[in-house]
């Protein structure tokens, strides 16, 4: 018996040693191995992110600043910080050693806090005592380039991977990209015979600060080879050789951002031409290129919108649209988080029935919109005239879109082509951003410029243009990074119960308000019916009316409390059922399975003994 005890004890020690050894071996052999079983694969990096991390040319250091103490009473922020930490670890594991992370807790009045402020990180106030929270990332490379995410907002979690990949890509491949601009409008300012010297448009100045700009001559018939992304602004009357060069640029994988327009109000025509007034408001298109990319666009018609048209009542202008967040695609990095974008005499774009490309809407009108002839805007004196005969179609019209996927050339190679002709797009397909308005880039549509105070934006037109170019200037891997779902998983059933109860609560509250107004009206009538000499005397009828209202008010308050109690009761019941399942039912099920296995094993062990006894 004693010998068996020693054997059993030795077996346990051996198993313990084997368990520790296996953990150590697996920790080394399976380092970096993960099994992502989440519904939206939250912990699996996109293929584009992996490619960016593996192609880094410069060592990059990310500084993650997070105030541990200040965030103790904010569980939502701490949960998001954990998510950020996990994603940063995943980035490091995939970076082949060129990416490193430094985690810093900036205590108040410390050197770390001074460093965070020097980087430009935002300190968010969290209470009236003056405590602040740092929650941001700064990045640098060996060339002392710096990129900053000032404050990580949990509401933008779905773009977290994209923003981090963009920061790492910019620092790891620091060469400045070239943006080519082809425009028939005076974006860059200069001498205007009608207005004298003019300043560059604000959006042009912003692009100049962020990117290296190249002016593309519309008559040159070619896109300069150093251009990474081409921006077309009101490409009016382009020659065939220039259209061919643009098409070949796109088919070879170049990014294109184009602002076409059925009625460009900023196009004032030739000031030296006495008929310039008649030429104002010209239209632009890309002709056969749009057909080849599967896009329908009518350069003679604009979109009118009763809901998004500026103004109100009798002063509404349905040809100038102020599109709110409701008209933006919040799943695309270009249009997400924009609050309002203003359009003037904009056209619309839609996919062709036989299109092979993928069509994604970025900005669209409301359902109270309809097309109308652009010619109605040419000599418009009263915006109300546009309302004559206007009937909303019930459709939403795309004003800005992204077009991706396979495409073929619409034009044959010229006799003397500057580059080798390409008949079809690269394997990844074309990547084009189209907007059916060029006036949205003009200062009057989104910014107020004052001599002393500079430019003050009242709309997000500039952000839309910069987002488009910035997204296109990212490589294909960066553009391909998918939008994440958030890691927060709300209890949908609890939310349904809460919404239903709140709806009932509001209905009861509205009934109370109506009865209150009716009682006050009744009291006013009774008071007016009395003589002027006894205004301070309250009649029996008034006393009964007041008492009835007070009794009814108490009754309705009881009803409101009961609604709130029912809300809490239903949620508590659901909470209790979930706890019973997690705490009691699942462990009980495991115990039953374990007991069944043990009984079955014991039964098998007894069978040989019974057979030996019978023998």
Q: Are 320 and 433 within one domain? A: yes
The pLDDT assigned to 381 comes to 81
Which tokens hold the place of 518?
A: 């009716």
Using the structure block, give the residue that is written with the tokens 């036989």: 354
The pLDDT assigned to 428 comes to 84
The residues with which 124 forms a beta bridge, in sequence order, are: 133
Q: Are 218 and 329 within one domain? A: yes
Q: What is the CATH number of the domain that holds 91?
A: 3.40.30.10
The pLDDT assigned to 319 comes to 95
Q: Are 117 and 55 within one domain? A: yes
Do 216 and 204 meet the contact criterion of CB atoms below 8 Å apart? no
Do 469 and 231 meet the contact criterion of CB atoms below 8 Å apart? yes
Q: Is the pLDDT assigned to residue 390 strictly greater than 70?
A: yes
Give the distance, in angstroms, between the CA of residue 486 and the centroid of all CA atoms in the same chain.
Answer: 12
* List of residues 6+ apart from 15 with CB closer than 8 A: none
Q: Are 81 and 158 within one domain? A: yes
Kind of pairing between the strands at 255-259 and 229-233: parallel
Which of 403, 352, 345, 353 lies closest to 371 in space, CA to CA? 345
Estimate the crossing angle of helix 540-579 against helix 492-529, to 10 degrees: 180
CA distances from 580 to 496, 575, 585, 587, 588 (A): 21, 9, 6, 10, 11
Q: Which residues of 390-425 are buried (b: 16+ CB within 10 A; e: fewer)?
A: bebeebbbbbbbbbbbebebbbeeeeeeeeeebeeb
Q: Is the pLDDT assigned to residue 75 strictly greater than 50?
A: yes
Task: Please give the average per-residue pLDDT across 57-77, as a whole number.
Answer: 91
Q: Tell me whether residue 484 is in a domain.
A: no
The pLDDT assigned to 33 comes to 54
CA gap 535, 516 in Å, rounded: 22
CA gap 231, 299 in Å, rounded: 19
Instruction: Please work out, in degrees rounded to the nearest 5, the angle formed at the alpha carbon of residue 416 by the alpha carbons of 226 and 411.
Output: 80
**Helical spans, DSSP H, in 459-491:** 461-473, 476-480
Q: DSSP code of 187? A: T
Q: Tell me whether residue 590 is in a domain.
A: no
Do 322 and 338 meet the contact criterion of CB atoms below 8 Å apart? no
Identify the weakest region by mean pLDDT among 240-244, 408-412, 523-527, 603-607: 523-527
Task: Please give the average per-residue pLDDT across 50-66, as a whole number.
Answer: 90
Q: Are 312 and 424 within one domain? A: yes
Residue 35: pLDDT band with limits 50, 70, 90: low
Q: Are 133 and 221 within one domain? A: no
Could you say which of 131, 148, 171 is where a domain stops? 171
The pLDDT assigned to 499 comes to 55
Residue 248: pLDDT band with limits 50, 70, 90: very high
The pLDDT assigned to 455 comes to 76
Identify the weakest region by mean pLDDT among 17-21, 49-53, 67-71, 366-370: 17-21
Q: Tell me whether residue 435 is in a domain.
A: yes
Q: Which domain holds residue 54?
A: 47-171
Which one is predicted more confidently, 351 or 176? 351
Q: Is the pLDDT assigned to residue 223 strictly greater than 50?
A: yes
Task: Please give the average per-residue pLDDT across 526-536, as a whole number.
Answer: 54
Q: Are 156 and 193 within one domain? A: no
Q: Residues 558-570: pLDDT tens digits?
A: 776 676 666 566 6
Do 67 and 135 meet the contact criterion of CB atoms below 8 Å apart? yes
Q: Tell me whether residue 481 is in a domain.
A: no
Identify the weakest region by mean pLDDT among 15-19, 338-342, 431-435, 525-529: 525-529
CA gap 73, 51 in Å, rounded: 38
Q: Are 223 and 154 within one domain? A: no
CA gap 239, 561 in Å, rounded: 74
Residue 138: pLDDT band with limits 50, 70, 90: very high
Which of 145, 123, 126, 118 lies closest to 136 in space, CA to CA? 123
Q: How many helices (H) and strands (E) does the chain have?
A: 14, 23
Q: Residues 269-328: pLDDT tens digits?
A: 665 555 555 556 789 999 899 999 999 999 999 999 999 999 875 678 999 999 999 999
The half-sphere exposure of 275 on its side-chain side, counting CA atoms within 13 A, is 1
Task: Please give the average per-residue pLDDT across 91-114, as a whole number.
Answer: 91
Give the end-to-end CA distance of the chain in Å, rounded to a whole number: 27
Identify the weakest region by mean pLDDT among 111-120, 205-214, 249-258, 470-479: 470-479
Q: Are 144 and 246 within one domain? A: no
Residue 250: pLDDT band with limits 50, 70, 90: very high
Q: Residues 542-601: pLDDT tens digits?
A: 677 667 766 776 676 677 667 666 656 666 676 677 667 667 776 777 777 877 777 777
* Percent of the chain topping pLDDT 90: 40
Q: Tell me whether residue 322 is in a domain.
A: yes
Q: Tell me whether residue 102 is in a domain.
A: yes
The residues with which 192 forms a beta bridge, in sequence order, are: 196
Three-state DSSP class for residue 540? helix
* Count of domains observed in the chain: 3
Q: What values do phi and psi take at 371, rounded to 5?
A: -75, 155
Identify the weakest region by mean pLDDT among 296-300, 421-425, 493-497: 493-497
Q: Are 365 and 426 within one domain? A: yes
Could you say which of 126, 155, 171 is where a domain stops? 171
Q: Are 211 and 88 within one domain? A: no
CA gap 126, 128 in Å, rounded: 7
Residue 535: pLDDT band with limits 50, 70, 90: very low
Q: Are 510 and 400 within one domain? A: no
Do 443 and 449 meet the contact criterion of CB atoms below 8 Å apart? yes
Could you say which of 123, 152, 171 is where a domain stops? 171
Q: Tell me whether residue 227 is in a domain.
A: yes
Mean pLDDT of the chain: 81
Identify the weakest region by mean pLDDT among 30-39, 159-168, 217-226: 30-39
Q: Tell me whether residue 287 is in a domain.
A: yes
Task: Please give the average per-residue pLDDT across 495-522, as a whole number.
Answer: 63
């Amino acid at each position: 018996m004693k010998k068996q005890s020693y054997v059993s004890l030795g077996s346990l020690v051996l198993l313990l040693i084997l368990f520790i050894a296996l953990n150590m071996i697996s920790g080394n052999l399976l380092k970096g191995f993960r099994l992502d079983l989440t519904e939206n694969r939250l912990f699996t990096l996109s293929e584009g992110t992996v490619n960016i991390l593996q192609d880094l040319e410069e060592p990059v250091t990310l500084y993650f600043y997070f105030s541990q103490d200040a965030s103790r009473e904010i569980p939502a922020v701490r949960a998001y910080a954990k998510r950020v930490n996990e994603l940063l670890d995943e980035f490091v594991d995939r970076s082949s050693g060129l990416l490193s992370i430094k985690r810093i807790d900036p205590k108040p009045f410390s050197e770390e806090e001074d460093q965070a402020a020097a980087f430009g990180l935002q300190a968010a106030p969290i209470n009236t005592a003056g405590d602040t929270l740092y929650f941001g990332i700064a990045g640098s490379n060996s060339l002392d380039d710096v990129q900053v995410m000032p404050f990580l907002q949990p509401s933008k979690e779905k773009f977290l991977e994209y923003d981090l990949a963009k920061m790492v890509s910019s620092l790891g491949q620091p060469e400045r990209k070239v943006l080519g601009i082809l425009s028939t409008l005076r974006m860059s300012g200069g001498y205007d015979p009608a207005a004298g010297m003019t300043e560059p448009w604000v959006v042009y100045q912003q692009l100049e600060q962020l990117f290296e700009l190249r002016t593309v001559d519309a008559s040159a018939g070619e896109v300069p080879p150093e251009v990474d992304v081409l921006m077309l602004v009101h490409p009016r009357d382009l020659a065939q050789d220039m259209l061919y060069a643009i098409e070949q640029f796109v088919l070879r994988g170049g990014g294109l951002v184009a602002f076409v327009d059925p009625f460009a109000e900023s196009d004032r025509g030739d000031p030296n031409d006495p008929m310039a007034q008649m030429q104002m408001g010209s239209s632009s298109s890309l002709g056969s290129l749009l057909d080849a990319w599967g896009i329908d666009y009518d350069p003679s018609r604009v979109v009118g919108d009763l809901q998004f048209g500026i103004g109100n009542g009798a002063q509404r202008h349905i040809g100038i649209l102020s599109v709110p967040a409701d008209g933006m695609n919040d799943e695309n990095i270009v249009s997400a988080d924009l609050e309002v974008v203003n359009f003037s005499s904009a056209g619309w774009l839609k996919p062709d029935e036989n299109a092979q490309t993928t069509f994604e809407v970025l900005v669209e009108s409301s359902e109270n919109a309809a097309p109308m002839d652009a010619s109605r805007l040419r000599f418009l004196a009263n915006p109300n005239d546009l309302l004559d005969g206007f009937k909303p179609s019930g459709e939403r019209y795309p004003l800005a879109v992204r077009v991706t996927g396979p495409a073929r050339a619409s034009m044959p190679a010229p006799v003397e082509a500057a580059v080798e002709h390409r008949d079809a797009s690269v394997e990844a397909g074309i990547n084009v951003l189209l907007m059916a308005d060029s006036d949205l880039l003009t200062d009057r549509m989104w910014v107020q410029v004052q001599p002393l105070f500079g430019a003050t934006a009242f709309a997000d037109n500039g952000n839309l243009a910069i987002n488009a170019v910035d997204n296109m200037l990212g490589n294909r891997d960066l553009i391909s990074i998918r939008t994440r779902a958030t890691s927060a998983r709300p209890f949908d059933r609890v939310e349904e119960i809460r919404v239903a109860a709140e709806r009932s609560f509001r209905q009861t509250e509205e009934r109370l308000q109506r009865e209150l107004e009716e009682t006050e009206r009744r009291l006013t009538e009774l008071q007016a019916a009395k003589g002027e000499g006894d205004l301070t005397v309250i009649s029996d009828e008034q006393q009964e009316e007041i008492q009835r209202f007070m009794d009814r008010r108490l009754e309705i308050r009881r009803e409101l409390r009961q609604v709130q109690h029912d809300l809490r009761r239903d949620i508590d019941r659901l909470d209790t059922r979930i706890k019973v399942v997690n705490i009691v039912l699942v462990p009980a099920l495991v115990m039953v399975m374990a007991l069944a296995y043990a009984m079955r094993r014991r039964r098998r062990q007894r069978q040989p003994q019974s057979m030996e006894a019978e023998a």
